[in-house]
Every structure is written in C-alpha cells, then in structure tokens.
Homo-oligomer: A and B are copies of this chain.
C-alpha cells in the first residue's frame, strides 16, 4: 500500500523534503483520546537530535493539526497533521542534482520516477518525512502508556562503541526519556559523541544499532504466518531510511546456539507464567508471550558524506565525481531512535486495535 501502513489503525505519509509541507493522516483512531500537543512537540524535538552531532538544518517543525481533533480530544475521524518546510536551501542541491549520491535513493528514484521526482534534499525519500511519523506517534504512545505498554530505545552501538544492555526496563526507560543522546552508560555517551564528531571532521559518516524494548504487551497478540509480530514490526521498521537489518531476541546469535541453551523455559512465578530467559525476545510463533519484546535495528552510515565519491550523472549516464554540498548528518542513529519508537508504537497499536476493536485505545 505504498505510503499507507496498517490494517485498522492506518498511517498515511506525504511530502517532500523541500516541498510545501510534509504530513500524515492517522485513520482508525478511537474517539476521545487525549491529544497532548506538548508531547508531540517533545517527540519532534527529540527527533532533531543533539545539535552538536546532527545536521545544521534545524527545522522548527511547527505542526498543525488540520482535522480529527475537537476540544482537545480525538473525534475518531481521520487526524491530519501538517508540518511546513521552512529552512530549505534547495540551492545546495542544484549544482549536484544530476549526480547520484552513492547508496542514496537518487539513482533508484530516477529509475522509478523517470526524472519526475523532486530531487531536492532527497524529496520523498528524505529522512525528514519521519517527522510526521513521530507526530502521529505522539498521539499513540500516551494511549499505549495508559494501557501499561511502554516502549524505549537506546543507542546500542555507534561504530565499535557499545552501550550496556537493558537491565531494568522501567528504570532504563526513565533514564532514556530524559536524554538528548539516548545511551544508558554515560561513559559510552561521551565516546560515541566523540566518534561521531571525529567522522564528521573527516567528512565521513558512521553507522550504528538501536535496541528497542516493549513491556506490558498482553500475551496472545499477533498472528501465525503473515502477521506475526516480527513480520509486522520488521515491515514497519524497514521503512525507516537507512535500516538494513533487524533481529529479535538473540537474533543472529541463534545461528550457533543449541536448542537446549536457546530455549526459554517457562515457569510459574506467583501465578504469572514467565520465562527463565528471554532469548526469543518475547515472541513465540509470531505471538507475544508476555515477556518484553526486544529487537535490534541496524542503521547504515549516512550515505551523504563530504568526501569526494565516484558516481555517475543520472541524466548523461557518464561517470562523474561527487563532492556533496548541503547539510548532512554524520550519523542518524541517535536521531533514529525516536523514529524506531514511533513506528513501533504505530505498528503495535494497529495489531492491538485489530485484536481488541476500534475503540480499545481509549477504553
């Protein structure tokens, strides 16, 4: 469905980086959900990232809710949020607009759209389009919280520097909520920021990993086969620009584990069924087992770098050398964690609403 995601609670994205505006339509919302515009603003700010290690393009991200909210609450009808593009310097792109940025979408967009795409700043492929996604999640995350469902992500890796693992989710989520650079181990935060500054100074960029946990999900949610929780979450997460891999629980480490060590034994603790370990990341057979859902998402280094690169001219097809101008992120991992949280909230809310009915989110 291209730019619409979800079966019953749907998100429709629109907009280009340097066009008039970007936005989102949320449909299938329950009526009577509180809309906290401060919280939405907070998410949008968090998405901008720590300024020292993020793009100098600083959009205000002043959003406007065009529909679906009346007297501070959702009406149940489609909620449209629009964010104007203000800080656009399209001139940056004019000179190099025909030079395909390696590993960016310039070439594939040309192939797909035959030259009619808006090339400025990545157009519809721009990471900027994640801002409306976060705004939409700003409606959903508080509603999930009221249901006891909490989502948190930390920067698990920047380059070779690794954060500590999640320990106590509740406490760790509180730590992360107040961090501009979402690392659990403060000493690693400094090292990561240094690393990013370092690659930036070299005109380069760096990749990393975001680790996400969700606690408080009911058991029995998800479907066998095509709507497994892993299927739906991975579908959503891979739509974030720069994502190239996802793993649940032990993920790729399962490759050399034996079943007797990989399996999560069940036990009854005070009447609640839990597992001894959580190697499965809270999902068995595609369905939640009540343990935290845990997954890790890898982000490639930002493709746009200052270093000169060999490429082609997409119009003439001739070889060329690209020396990128424009304002770029040397790393998107620290900004992306808000986006991962957001799209996780949207995808899970859709699963839950499908299971429990349209009105569930505000019941």
Tell me if A292 counts as interface (CB < 8 A to partner B). Answer: no
- With A204-B259, A354-B8 already in contact, the answer to whether A78 and B3 are too (CB < 8 A) is yes
CB neighbours (8 Å) of A279 from chain B are 103, 300
Residues 230-276 of A at the B interface (beta carbon under 8 Å): 230-232, 234-236, 238-239, 241, 243-252, 254-260, 262-268, 271, 273, 275-276
| Among candidates B118, B225, B251, B300, residue contacting A262 with C-beta atoms closer than 8 Å | B300
| Among candidates B10, B241, B311, residue contacting A285 with C-beta atoms closer than 8 Å | B241
What 1/0 flags go to A275-286 for Cβ under 8 Å of B? Answer: 110011101111
- With A245-B252, A309-B260 already in contact, the answer to whether A219 and B1 are too (CB < 8 A) is no
Is B224's CB under 8 angstroms from A228's CB?
Answer: no
Q: Closest Cβ of chain B: how far from A306's Cβ, in Å?
A: 9
Tell me if A61 counts as interface (CB < 8 A to partner B). Answer: no
Give the residue name and chain of the B residue nearest to A159 (CB).
Answer: B256
Q: Closest Cβ of chain B: how far from A68's Cβ, in Å?
A: 7
Tell me if A76 counts as interface (CB < 8 A to partner B). Answer: yes
Is A234's CB under 8 angstroms from B246's CB?
Answer: yes
CB neighbours (8 Å) of A74 from chain B are 116
Residue from A10, A238, A271 whose CB has the most chain B CB atoms within 10 Å: A238
Is A259's CB under 8 angstroms from B205's CB?
Answer: yes
- With A16-B77, A224-B124, A252-B247 already in contact, the answer to whether A309 and B66 are too (CB < 8 A) is no
Q: List 20 A-B contacts (CB under 8 A).
A: A3-B78, A12-B25, A14-B80, A75-B117, A77-B224, A108-B283, A125-B286, A199-B258, A204-B259, A206-B256, A226-B235, A228-B239, A231-B235, A244-B280, A245-B251, A254-B298, A259-B303, A262-B301, A263-B309, A267-B310
